[in-house]
């Protein structure tokens, strides 16, 4: 990596520093880094943050994803902390069953089960540990990419080492923006987002049970109640998840406070049986980028598409 940003952007005769630069070290970037290093490519990863994201996010992946994680070499690491989900039920406002989406419990055509429940930080740590153990990628945490200069045979990536406030650059044949919903790489590609007109605010809560609560069940439940759409899903071990839509008329000053959350959860659970582990208020979007590649720039993951998790 060069310390100083020079102006001869595309004039270098030397080989690019890397085959692929991955911007963003969330699950998409970490998975891609594993797959590319397995193929012997020289990879660099730039990640703005120091640690994996800690707020509640994904809880479910399918057998096809597990097959990818198997290829990456982390299936056995993940297994003790996965729960095989029996499926999902959709209930109407009267509690009547509308859809029973039971999933087969055994091994399916992917060589894995159809539905796994997981804890996203576990997955991200496993991907990072595997990449580090295998080697072949230079990973730069606390490095924020702010500009890309495209040349005929490479891209120059300009970034800030935010731990030191130092500007520098590196070159790669290709850049993949795995940089999430507000992707910088997407902006450099110039692709627009098609807005599928769903912008909803939800409070997402993970609780840790303090004893057995078999009555909550192993199925995910989509409460399709127009008065308050809500999702319940179980995680591995004693972690349980509720996702609660914010409704017109909710008191803005109280939304997402522990009191507000316990009031919403009261029909299922109280502080006598569980502790709040973590919660977040999200505005979910349903958008898809109109083009995921231009020349040597590509996007993947949330940079390319986002969907609200309600109803899976
Ligand atoms: C409540 C909730 C429930 C969900 N449930 C599911 C589910 O059950 N199953 C499922 O598959 N998905 C689910 N999702 C979606 C899933 O969590 C995301 O799709 C996934 O985290 C996206 O991963 P990513 O790597 O593409 O992006 P991110 O995880 O957002 O990672 C992007 C990374 O890029 C870094 N970055 C951004 N810009 C720069 C830059 N300029 N320079 C350097 N680094 C940068 C960020 O710091 C971040 O670490 C859920 C999401 C939420 C919020």
Q: What is the DSSP annotation of 281-292?
A: EEEEEEEEES-S
CATH architecture of 198-285: 2-Layer Sandwich (3.30)
Phi/psi at 111 (5° precision):
85, 5
Average pLDDT score over residue span 199-209: 96
Q: How far is the CA of 6 from the centre of ligand 1 (A)?
A: 33
- Give the tens place of pLDDT for each residue, 124-142: 999 999 999 999 999 999 9
Domain coordinates of the chain in residue numbers?
Answer: 18-59+119-192+290-306, 198-285
Give the atom of ligand 1 at the shortest distance from the alpha carbon of 233.
8
What confidence score (pLDDT) does residue 1 get? 59
What confidence score (pLDDT) does residue 4 get? 46
What rounded mean pLDDT belongs to the chain?
Answer: 95
Three-class DSSP category at 140: strand
Q: In the structure, how many helices (H) and strands (E) does the chain have?
A: 6, 19
Query: Atom 22 in ligand 1: which residue has the minimum CA distance?
Result: 302
The closest of 152, 68, 149 to 116, measured between CA atoms, is 68
Positive/negative CA dihedral, 58, 59, 65, 68: positive
Q: How far apart, in whole angstroms, are the C-alpha atoms of residue 186 and residue 287?
A: 13
Task: Say yes or no to pLDDT of 114 above 60.
Answer: yes
Task: Say yes or no to pLDDT of 6 above 70.
Answer: no
- Give the tens place of pLDDT for each residue, 132-186: 999 999 999 999 999 999 999 999 999 999 999 999 999 999 999 999 999 999 9
- Among 51, 140, 172, 179, which residue has the most ligand 1 atoms within 8 Å of its CB, making it the best to mutate? 179
Task: Say yes or no to pLDDT of 64 above 90.
Answer: yes
The closest of 49, 218, 76 to 139, measured between CA atoms, is 49
Q: How far apart, in whole angstroms, are the C-alpha atoms of residue 34 and residue 207?
A: 31
Average pLDDT score over residue span 60-69: 97
Query: Atom 53 in ligand 1: which residue has the minimum CA distance?
Result: 57
> Where is pLDDT greater, at 308 or 204?
204
What confidence score (pLDDT) does residue 10 get? 81
Q: How far apart, in whole angstroms, are the C-alpha atoms of residue 14 and residue 59?
A: 45
Q: How far is the CA of 261 from the centre of ligand 1 (A)?
A: 24
- Give the tens place of pLDDT for each residue, 249-287: 999 999 999 999 999 999 999 999 999 999 999 999 999
Q: What is the 3-state secondary structure (H, E, C) of 51-114?
A: CCCCCCCCCEEEHHHHHHHHHHCCHHHHHHHCEECCEEEEECCCCCEEEEEECCCCCCCCCCCC
Query: Atom 2 in ligand 1: which residue has the minimum CA distance?
Result: 57
Which secondary structure element, helix H or strand E, spans residue 258, and what is its range?
Answer: helix 258-265
Percent of the chain with pLDDT over 90: 92
Query: Atom 39 in ligand 1: which residue has the minimum CA distance?
Result: 179
Q: How far is the CA of 149 from the centre of ligand 1 (A)?
A: 25
Q: How far apart, in whole angstroms, are the C-alpha atoms of residue 244 and residue 79?
A: 29
Query: Atom 30 in ligand 1: which residue has the minimum CA distance?
Result: 180
Q: Is 243 exposed, middle or buried (0-12, 13-18, 19+ CB in 10 A)?
A: buried
The closest of 53, 51, 37, 48 to 140, measured between CA atoms, is 48
- Give the tens place of pLDDT for each residue, 283-298: 999 999 999 999 999 9
What confidence score (pLDDT) does residue 5 get? 45
Q: How far apart, in whole angstroms, are the C-alpha atoms of residue 216 and residue 242?
A: 11
The closest of 182, 177, 175 to 25, measured between CA atoms, is 177
Report the pocket of ligand 1 as residue ranges, CB < 6 Å: 23-29, 46-49, 53, 56-61, 120, 144-145, 178-180, 184, 204, 282, 301-302, 309
Residue 279 near residue 56, CB atoms below 8 Å: yes
- Among 24, 161, 170, which residue has the most ligand 1 atoms within 8 Å of its CB, making it the best to mutate? 24
Average pLDDT score over residue span 67-91: 98
Q: How far is the CA of 27 from the centre of ligand 1 (A)?
A: 7
User: For residue 256, is it left (φ>0), alpha (ψ between -120 and 50) or beta?
Assistant: left
CATH 2.60.40.350 given to domain 18-59+119-192+290-306: no
- Among 158, 278, 302, 304, which residue has the most ligand 1 atoms within 8 Å of its CB, making it the best to mutate? 302
User: For residue 40, is it left (φ>0), alpha (ψ between -120 and 50) or beta?
Assistant: left
- Give the tens place of pLDDT for each residue, 32-59: 999 999 999 999 999 999 999 999 999 9
């Amino acid at each position: 990596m060069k310390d100083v940003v020079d102006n001869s952007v595309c004039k270098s005769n030397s080989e690019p520093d890397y085959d692929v630069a991955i911007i963003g070290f969330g699950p998409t970037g970490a998975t891609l880094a594993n797959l590319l290093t397995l193929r012997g490519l020289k990879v660099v990863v730039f990640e703005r943050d120091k640690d994996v994201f800690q707020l509640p996010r994904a809880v479910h992946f399918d057998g096809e994803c597990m097959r990818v994680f198997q290829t990456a070499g982390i299936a056995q690491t993940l297994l003790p902390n996965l729960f095989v989900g029996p499926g999902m039920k959709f209930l109407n406002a009267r509690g009547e069953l509308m859809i029973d989406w039971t999933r087969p419990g055994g091994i399916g055509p992917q060589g894995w089960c159809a539905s796994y429940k997981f804890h996203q930080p576990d997955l991200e740590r496993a991907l990072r540990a595997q990449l580090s153990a295998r080697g072949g990628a230079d990973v730069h945490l606390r490095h924020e990419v702010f500009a890309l200069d495209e040349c005929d045979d490479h891209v120059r990536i300009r970034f800030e080492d935010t731990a030191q406030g130092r500007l520098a650059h590196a070159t790669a044949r290709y850049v993949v923006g795995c940089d999430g919903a507000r992707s910088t790489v997407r902006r450099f590609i110039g692709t627009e987002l098609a807005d599928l007109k769903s912008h909803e605010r939800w409070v997402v809560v993970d609780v840790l049970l303090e004893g057995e609560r078999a009555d909550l069940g192993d199925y995910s439940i989509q409460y399709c109640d127009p008065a308050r759409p809500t999702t319940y899903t179980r995680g591995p071990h004693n972690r349980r998840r509720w996702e609660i839509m914010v409704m017109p008329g909710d008191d803005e000053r109280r939304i997402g406070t522990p009191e507000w959350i316990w009031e919403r959860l009261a029909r299922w659970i109280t502080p006598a049986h569980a502790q709040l582990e973590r919660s977040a208020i999200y505005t979910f979007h349903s958008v898809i980028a109109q083009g995921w590649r231009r020349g040597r720039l590509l996007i993947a993951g949330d940079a390319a598409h986002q969907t609200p998790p309600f109803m899976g």
